[in-house]
Chains A and B, each alone.
Chain A
């Protein structure tokens, strides 16, 4: 099923040399994909101390299980960094993420708190481990792919099975988080 979702004007600030090849066409389908390497939403998100998510995630997005990131208390993400896979279902990753987030919220409410923030050391360790495992994966081999960012690092994919991600998100671990009560708005 195809649907044209819009038209846009394009401008090219290049003056190219003689083309290697030129094809005259009456329609161009721009099937060049989505902006996958910019995981930051198009609206501004500010964390503790005025940290902007766009800055924090500009090069190497660091998140824990793809759902939480340090310095951004109470912010939860679905299909966040490292929750894509080469074979499998993204919906399943999202379902696991939702399950984890609901558990996290329940935990905060039970403690009569209103702030939940992941510990920075936990995120660092988690991402270090994933980076190490990614090195031997097919995604890390040489090819052009939207799995990679501009510097060639794979920041999209989870280097394991869906089962492993399910296992990691199955139970919320309070020790990975700082839970607090804040009176400021």
Chain B
């Protein structure tokens, strides 16, 4: 099987399928920055609490909101604190990729661009997938490379306009995000919002 792309949809597809196929090729232009989901499933008691305790969902949404705002300021800001956090964020993420995936550097799996330049991918088991024997990544970015889909497979080629016509079939797949925003929230306390306002006031972010 071949998955073309390594964005949010591709990552979810790979996570869902890599254990069930003999070989899975991921065709990617460049590596993406990845963030692991802190919580991958919601326990039943938690769902019950959300449904029955008044204001709990509202509180969770509020916490999630301010956590996201804080992260946004830290990743996109230009102040010293933001620069320090960004450096720490990218170092830790890159180290995690190197630690979990063999030959990550030579396979082009460590992102080189500034975090936030393209979409940050939230993953559940993508690094496990990349580290497994079934999954192989194929780099097809740069130098005007293109993918050619033939009847029997996928090729990485340099284009030469004009010529014959090739026909095949492509599955058009849509991935539905089953995660909820509340999955993010238990990692930081609700005081983050206030801290942010203070830090912006001090011009640190």
Q: For residue B75, give the distance in angstroms from its CB to the closest CB of chain A.
A: 6
| A146→B9 CA distance, assembly (Å) | 14
Chain A minimum-CB-distance residue to B166: A12
B interface footprint on A77-102 (CB within 8 Å = 1, 0 otherwise): 00000000111110010000000000
Cβ of A138 within 8 Å of any chain B Cβ, yes or no, is yes
| A141→B1 CA distance, assembly (Å) | 33
Q: For residue B190, give the distance in angstroms from its CB to the closest CB of chain A.
A: 15
Chain A minimum-CB-distance residue to B78: A136
A28 and B2 contact, Cβ closer than 8 Å, known pairs A20-B145, A161-B73: yes
Chain B minimum-CB-distance residue to A3: B174
Cβ of A184 within 8 Å of any chain B Cβ, yes or no, is no
A143 and B117 contact, Cβ closer than 8 Å, known pairs A11-B166, A16-B159: yes
Interface size on B, residues (CB 8 A): 68
A15 and B172 contact, Cβ closer than 8 Å, known pairs A87-B75, A137-B76, A143-B117: no
Cβ of A32 within 8 Å of any chain B Cβ, yes or no, is yes
A10 with B75: CB separation less than 8 A: no
A161 with B157: CB separation less than 8 A: no
CB-CB < 8 A to B73: which residues of A? Answer: 161
Q: For residue B193, give the distance in angstroms from its CB to the closest CB of chain A.
A: 9
A87 with B71: CB separation less than 8 A: yes
Interface of B is mostly: mixed
Chain A minimum-CB-distance residue to B141: A144
For B10, B16, B115, B172, which residue has the most chain A Cβ atoms within 10 angstroms?
B172
B153 with A31: CB separation less than 8 A: no
Within 8 A of B (CB), among A4-57: 4-33
B160 with A162: CB separation less than 8 A: no
B1 with A161: CB separation less than 8 A: no
CB-CB < 8 A to A175: which residues of B? Answer: none
Cβ of A172 within 8 Å of any chain B Cβ, yes or no, is no
Chain B minimum-CB-distance residue to A159: B76
Within 8 A of A (CB), among B1-15: 1-7, 9-10, 12-13
CB-CB < 8 A to B41: which residues of A? Answer: none
A interface footprint on B157-175 (CB within 8 Å = 1, 0 otherwise): 1111111111111111111
B: residues with CB less than 8 A from A are 1-7, 9-10, 12-13, 16-17, 23, 25, 29-30, 65, 68-69, 71-73, 75-76, 78, 113-120, 138, 141, 145-146, 148-150, 152-176, 178, 181
Could you write out 8 A-B pairs with CB less than 8 Å apart? A1-B176, A16-B163, A21-B156, A22-B153, A143-B113, A144-B30, A145-B118, A147-B119
Beyond known contacts A7-B170, A162-B65: 19 more, CB 8 A cutoff: A2-B17, A3-B176, A6-B172, A7-B169, A8-B172, A13-B165, A14-B159, A18-B157, A19-B157, A20-B156, A23-B154, A28-B149, A28-B154, A29-B10, A29-B171, A31-B10, A87-B116, A141-B117, A147-B119
